[in-house]
Amino acid sequence: MESVFSYIIGLGAAVMMPVIFTILGLCIGIKFGDALKSGLKVGVGFVGLSIVTALLTSALGPALDKVVQLYDLQLHVFDMGWPAAAAVAYNTAVGAFIIPVCLGVNLLMLFTKTTRTVNIDLWNYWHFAFIGAVIYFASDSLAWGFFGAIICYIITLILADMTAKKFQSYYKDMDGISIPQPFCAGFVPFAWIINKGLDKIPGMNRLEIDAEGLKKRFGLLGEPLFLGVVVGIGIGCLTCSSWSEIVDRIPYILGLGIKMGAVMELIPRVTVLFIEGLKPISDATRSLIARKFKGADGLNIGMSPALVIGHPTTLVVSLLLIPVTLVLAVLLPGNEFLPLASLAGMFYVFPLVLPFTKGNVIKTFIVGLVVIVLGLYMVTNLAPAFTLAAEDVYASTGDAAVAIPAGFAGGSLDFASSPLAWIIYQCTENLKWVGASLMVLITMAMMWWNRVHILRNRREMIQKNSDKIQTTE
C-alpha cells in the first residue's frame, strides 16, 4: 500500500490533477471529452505555474545567494523550499497513508454534517503529512504523528467552510469553491483580527487602496509588472559591491528586472487556465447538488489556492514583502532562518487574507508583515524536528532535494511558518496529553459549531425556496 501511494504522489500534481478531475467529471455526469478537457486544462495550469515559479527561483535564488555571501549573513537554518518539504512529508510513514486517512475523515465529516467541503486538492495533502511527519520524528511515535495530521485536517476543513462565502463573493468565478489548504487557512484569524483593529484607527477604514487603485493613482508605477521590474533591478544592484560593478553588470541587473516583471505578468495569465478547467466541473457539481438537496445549502469543492494567486493585490504585496522579509530575517533577534528558496511560496500567504481586507494593499501588507515575522520564529523553532525528518528521508531515499548542508538545520517557509502547524506541534510534542486533550476539545467544539451552522443554513435555504414556490403559486 505504501509503495502504491508513493507511486501516485510521485506522478506530481500536473499528472494527478487531470486524472482526478476527469474521474470527478464522469462521476457527476459530464461527458468524457469535456471532463478530460477540464482535467487537462487544470494539469496544464499546474505545469505553467511550475514553470513560472521555477523562473522566479532560478532568477532570484543566485542573486540572493550572492547577497548573502557579499554581506556575510550568518543564519544557520537552511531554506529547503516547499518542494523539499513536500518530499520529506510524503516519504515518511505518515505521508504514505495520509491520503486515504484524510479522505476517510472527510467522508465521515460529510456524513455527520460537520463539514460541507469535499477536499479534492490531493497534492496539498502534503501539508497534513508534513506536520504529522515532524511530530512523528520529534516524538518517535507514529500515533502522535497521525493525531497531529488528522487534527490539522479537521480544523482546515472547518476553516474552509467558515471562509467559503467570503472567498466566493470576493473572487470572480469561484462559486462552489473553498480553500482547504492549511497554510492559507492558518492566517485567517490574523486577517480577521488585524483588519478589525485597523478599521478602528481613524482614517484607516476610509483608506481604500487596492491594486486597481494603485494603477489609477500611480499609473505605470502601480502596475505589478513595473513593480516586479523595479524590485528585480533593486535586488540586482544589491549583488554588486561597488558602483563600478553595477555599471559592469547592467545587462544582468536589467535581465533580472525583466524576469521578475515576467513572473508578475505571467502568474495571472496562468491561473486563468485553472479557472477555465474548473468551470465545467463546478457548474455540473452545483447542478447536481441543487437537484439532490432540493435547493438547500450544498457542498463546496475544496481546491488549491493556486486558482487565485494571480490576483493583483497578492502579486503586489508578495513582491514588496520579498525584500522586507530578507531584511527582517537578518535583523530580528533570535531568528536563524534566511528564506531564499521559500520566497516563491510567498504568494500563498494571501488567498484567504484578501477577502477580509477586501484587497486593500496597505491592510494586506500589514497582515503579511505580522505573519512573516511570526513565521520566521516558527520556522526556527521547528527546525530541529524538521531536520530529523529530512535526515531520515535522505538516508532512506538518497534524494538530493532533501539533503541539508553540513552544519545547518533544515526549514521551509511553507508549511513550517504556519501558525496552525506550530500550535499543533507545540500542543502534541511539548504538552503531550494535556495539549492533545485541549486540541481535541477545541476541534470538537469547532465541529459542533460548524454542524449547527450548516443545519441552520440549510433550514433557512429550504424555507426561502418554499416561500418562493408559494409566492409563485
Going 68 to 73 to 75 to 76, the CA torsion angle's sign is positive
For 261-305, the pLDDT digits (tens) are: 888 788 778 877 777 777 777 777 667 665 665 544 567 888 888
- Look over the chain and give the mean of its residue pLDDT values, rounded to a whole number: 83
| CB of 160 closer than 8 Å to CB of 327 | no
Listed residue (156, 87, 161, 93) closest to 126, CA to CA? 87
Q: How far apart are alpha carbons 104 and 102 in whole angstroms? A: 5
What is the distance of C-alpha 365 from the center of its chain? Answer: 17
For 380-393, the pLDDT digits (tens) are: 999 998 888 888 88
Asked if the model's pLDDT at residue 44 lies above 60, the reply is yes
Q: Name the helix (H) or strand (E) containing 80.
A: none
pTM summary value: 0.83
Asked if the model's pLDDT at residue 205 lies above 70, the reply is no
Helices 81-90 + 93-111 axis angle, to 10: 80
- Reported as a pLDDT band with limits 50, 70 and 90, residue 219 is low
**CB-hemisphere CA count at 13 Å for 25?**
24
Domain map (residue ranges) of the chain: 2-472
For 300-351, the pLDDT digits (tens) are: 888 888 888 888 888 888 888 888 988 898 889 999 998 877 887 888 899 9
